Chains A and B, each alone.
Chain A
């Protein structure tokens, strides 16, 4: 049995995410190369440090476009559920770690890790979809 073709919105999503990921890696490499350790926040260092942030914002834009362009309401619901689970996962983990930081001497978690944690939450969301609906959604 042949696998049905993926929705065009998923293909566009991947086409947007891949170059943005490459731009992110290039920007991180450039910032690491040009900014010395413990550099003061000058206009130049701030702009260079924020360059990868533009790519991260691009990922958010690509995800928003996915939800807008998915005209199949069931597939869109699966993606929205994944995003909600990911948001809950990230909020719960960062809040719990924040309390640990407040009351104990655990190491500080840089805020930078919020986005990777959210992405990890997408996998949890996919698992939740699979367990509750028998369907993981796209991007498998």
Chain B
């Protein structure tokens, strides 16, 4: 699964740590999701989408 997390984060000038803090997860998790090593659960994907004010499919796309 591909995602636009890095781009969305950069648009807001957030570090991985900033995003992790806003989501209540570890920076390791943010890095793993951004680099495509880990696909988040549905509840976490909803939290990410809610934070950016977007729909899940606007952030995550199937390969």
Contacts and interface: CB of A to CB of B under 8 A. Distances in A.
Interface of A: 4, 7, 72-75, 77, 133-135
B58 interface: no
B32 A74 contact: yes
Given A4-B17, A73-B44, A133 B37 contact: yes
Chain A to chain B: the 5 pairs with minimum beta-carbon distance, closest first? A74-B29, A72-B26, A133-B37, A72-B25, A4-B27
Contacts of B33: 74
Nearest to A132: B37
A75 B26 contact: yes
Given A73-B29, A74-B38, A74-B40, 9 more contacts: A73-B40, A73-B41, A74-B25, A74-B33, A75-B28, A75-B29, A133-B37, A133-B38, A135-B28
Contacts of A7: 26
Nearest to B40: A73
Interface of B: 17, 20, 25-29, 32-33, 37-38, 40-41, 44
A4 B20 CA distance: 11
Contacts of B37: 133-135
Q: Which of A7, A74, A77 has the most C-beta atoms of chain B within 10 angstroms of its own C-beta?
A: A74
Nearest to B35: A134
B11 to A, nearest CB: 23
26 contacts: A4-B17, A4-B27, A72-B25, A72-B26, A72-B29, A73-B25, A73-B29, A73-B40, A73-B41, A73-B44, A74-B25, A74-B26, A74-B29, A74-B32, A74-B33, A74-B40, A75-B26, A75-B28, A77-B38, A133-B32, A133-B37, A133-B38, A134-B37, A135-B28, A135-B32, A135-B37
